[in-house]
Chains A and B, each alone.
Chain A
Amino acid sequence: MKTLHVGIGLLMLALTACGNDGGKASPTAGDTLRYVAVGAPATASHDPHGGIGNQSDLTRFALVYDVLTKPGPEGATEFRLATAFEPDGKLTTWTVRLRDDAKFTDGRPVRAADVLFSLRRIHEKAAENFGRLQMFDFAASSVVDDHTLKLVTPQPYAEVPRALESISFVVPEGTTAFDKPAPGSGPYRMTGGNAENAVLERNEGWWGAKPPTRRIEIRAVVDPQARAQAVISGQADVASAVSPATARQAAQNADLKVVHRPAVNMYPFVMRLDREPFDDPRVREAVKLAADRQELLDKVFLGFGQIGNDLLTPADPSSPKDVPQRSRDLDRARELLKEAGHADGLKLTLATTTSYPGMDTAATLFAEQLGEAGIDVEVKTEAPDTYWTAVFAKSDFYTGFFGGIPFTDVARVSLLGDSPTNETAWKRPEWDKAFGDALATEDEAARRRILGGLQRELRDEGGYVVWGTGDGLDLAAGKVTGLPEGPGFDSAFIEQVRVAAP
């Protein structure tokens, strides 16, 4: 056994040699927030107008660049660079007033021309950002003066302030190089590191409320377990998007806290209305009735979330509140299948993937539940890097994803007749027309009533089984306060997060 001892000795020696440089502790006092966000190095970018595949990039951009508006509490729109939106009578021309005290870190003032340049650039990259600004006609839009902008929409569009909530990062007019950070006018500026591991320091010249933390480090980490371990072991203060299992464990640890952001993760089962057997509404209803929603919520999200009622955007302010909860009814499901001519059973293939934690569990569990209604389901788990191009919006029956985006966005990308990915083949000219009418309705309550009715119709007759929504779960050290708790884009705004001094 002597050789083994020698081996262990050598091993220790080598490790000591490796570790001989002496440690330099990174600054952990109350003036630094170390934030670990979802992100892969291959998609880490300095371009705030394209796809923004990484949450770490989105969070950094939201600190470095100003936006026109952002999501506020209770579905309200919070104004940032914009101070007022004034529509004309037809709701097709909007005068946008900008604050006059914003300036880029290179000293130049933020002008309407910079805003229009940035919006146009976002629109040019429509293929990468799901056509976020496709409701605008930027050729017809123009600069009125340094702090006033005229935005034109080809169709009446009452929700312009909300349409700009998602992404409107403003860079100086004429910026062409995005292989490094462009000057911003946001609450922080980037002073070191790189796109995957950025060092930001407070921009003392920002117009808004002074952020409490002097320095924020944002790091992209792919693996959810690694993100969680970073906070548990004290290498980071906040980890975004941890697993439900981690959240459950952390609940027993007094030094940690879990922030729940409602309705962030939704894995609906998607049925195509233009293919058999889902072209028969009775089959769709049977599938919806076969779902044991509570079991899915308990096993996929460990109960952190809400059961679904087949409404695609339950957190949207226009989501109808008076729809009775659909609950499991196997007898009725079997009856419907029989009426639809499937008395001898029905064979289906349900595709899923592992892109988001629990997507595969959801499909497997749902297959079992459908089995109890006499539907024989084979689950096919596909590779995550081709799922969104080969299966998504193509297969008859698969597991989809929505990440807490507003109803108008969901409609634009997935529900209108000309949507790029109308995944359920929901093609109803009258529904589209009502959607257009809603957006031509200036009165907010009336508009929301119409939009709510559209969501109800989709719930009853459409191809989505929305069995539940999972909370977005962020893990933080106990000393961290002020983390955003809203759904969707709101989570990127962390400039008011505070770290108590030790």
Chain B
Amino acid sequence: MIRSVPAAAGRALALLAATSLIVFWATELLPSDAAESKAAGRATGAQLAALRAELGLDRPAWERYLSWAGGLAHGDAGTSLVTGRPVGEMLAERLPATLTLAGCALAVAVPLALVLAWRVGAAPHGRIAALTAVAAAVPQPVFAAALVALFAGTLPWLPPVSLLAPDTPPLAQPELLVLPALALALPSAAFGAGMLGGAVADTLRRSYVRDAAARGLPPARVALRHVAPLLAAPALRILALLTGGLLASTAVIEVMFGYSGLGELLVSAIGTRDLPVVQAVAMLTAATVLSGLATADVLAARHREEPC
């Protein structure tokens, strides 16, 4: 069990490095490369070889990985193989949009997940538990399509796509955020509630919780004083996973809504085998999730140290 902050941070960093290797390797394994993607099948062998040399793709994979990692250590995310633009700049242009969208989605998903988890934990075989399980199994694009059909079609309240105006912060057009945020939040909340519901059920079965309820303490007080402290660590872990899942889902949702965020960039960068861009987006997402998990670990350890 990890107790100290430096140890947790160290483990998160090691995992991050491992993730970068895996992402690099996985992208390497995909057929074709950035040079072929640029040539679009219409170049001669010699032209292709020249293009590879120009992009540095003729070097062995380990050398390219090390030079990328070395650059990143100095705060340089490299240059896009396809557009020649600095990766840092490409990310910076799109980060605010995705952060805003994910933030709004979490603002909906977290409270909803907590409320649902409480219900699921209290009645694991009840109707809400069943509904939550079903909702968690519905893929995000289906949710998105249904939401658009309902709130932009049948009831024309909201725009069906979310094209951000240039040079304008995403929050300046709140109506554009509602549907993509809901499409991300609802399935995530159901998923989180399903996982946390089990922990709630376990906690509720503990003798002192049952005692407290039997003593006639108000349910809210039992929830806050007896149940919540035990749930803090699992809840945080689930939150970290939920955030990761949500960030991954932005890839699909952003493309569907024409929302110019990191997810949309990631999808098209994988398509063109633009490794530096893929790596950078993947690192950002992984860093978010791993730091959340590390925080949860530290919290769990602290809690265990406290005498019960």
Binding site for B on A (CB under 8 A): 3-4, 6-7, 10-11, 14-15, 17-24, 26, 36, 40-47, 50-51, 53, 126-128, 130-131, 178-179, 192-199, 217, 219, 221-223, 226-227, 229-230, 232-233, 235-236, 384-386, 388-390, 392-393, 413, 420-421
CB of A128, distance to nearest CB on chain B (Å) = 5
Residue of A nearest to B79 (CB): A179
Whether the pair B93, A194 counts as a contact (CB closer than 8 A) is yes
Whether the pair B84, A127 counts as a contact (CB closer than 8 A) is no
CB of A214, distance to nearest CB on chain B (Å) = 15
One digit per residue, 1 when the CB lies within 8 angstroms of any chain A CB and 0 when it does not, for chain B 57-68 equals: 000000000000
A3-B41 contact given A42-B274, A390-B31, CB 8 Å threshold: no
Out of A20, A36, A41, A193, name the residue touching B167 (CB < 8 Å).
Answer: A193
Expressed in whole angstroms, the Cα–Cα distance for A390 and B113 within the complex equals 45
One of B5-13, B195-203, B208-216, B260-268 contacting the partner: B260-268
Chain B residues with CB under 8 A of A197: 164, 166, 260
One of B14-22, B45-53, B290-298 contacting the partner: B45-53
Expressed in whole angstroms, the Cα–Cα distance for A486 and B106 within the complex equals 47
Chain B residues with CB under 8 A of A7: 111-112, 115-116
A420-B258 contact given A44-B83, A45-B83, A388-B41, CB 8 Å threshold: no
A195-B85 contact given A10-B112, A230-B163, A235-B159, CB 8 Å threshold: yes
A223-B84 contact given A7-B112, A23-B175, CB 8 Å threshold: no
Whether the pair A43, B111 counts as a contact (CB closer than 8 A) is no
Whether the pair A199, B166 counts as a contact (CB closer than 8 A) is yes
A-B contacts, 10 of them at CB < 8 A, read: A15-B104, A18-B171, A41-B265, A53-B82, A127-B48, A179-B79, A179-B89, A217-B165, A222-B264, A389-B39
**Interface status of B4 (Cβ within 8 A of chain A):** no
Out of A10, A127, A198, A389, name the residue touching B51 (CB < 8 Å).
Answer: A127
A24-B175 contact given A15-B104, A127-B51, CB 8 Å threshold: no
Whether the pair A126, B47 counts as a contact (CB closer than 8 A) is yes
Q: How many residues belonging to B are interface residues under a CB distance threshold of 8 Å?
A: 75
Out of A6, A192, A390, A420, name the residue touching B47 (CB < 8 Å).
Answer: A420
A36-B256 contact given A41-B94, A128-B39, CB 8 Å threshold: no
Expressed in whole angstroms, the Cα–Cα distance for A40 and B182 within the complex equals 24
Whether the pair B268, A217 counts as a contact (CB closer than 8 A) is no
CB of A419, distance to nearest CB on chain B (Å) = 9
Residue of B nearest to A220 (CB): B260
CB of A422, distance to nearest CB on chain B (Å) = 11
**Interface status of B29 (Cβ within 8 A of chain A):** no
Whether the pair A18, B177 counts as a contact (CB closer than 8 A) is yes
Expressed in whole angstroms, the Cα–Cα distance for A222 and B274 within the complex equals 17
Whether the pair B108, A15 counts as a contact (CB closer than 8 A) is yes
Expressed in whole angstroms, the Cα–Cα distance for A149 and B274 within the complex equals 38
Whether the pair A45, B84 counts as a contact (CB closer than 8 A) is yes
Whether the pair B163, A36 counts as a contact (CB closer than 8 A) is yes
Whether the pair B258, A226 counts as a contact (CB closer than 8 A) is yes
CB of A390, distance to nearest CB on chain B (Å) = 6
A223-B42 contact given A10-B112, A229-B160, CB 8 Å threshold: no
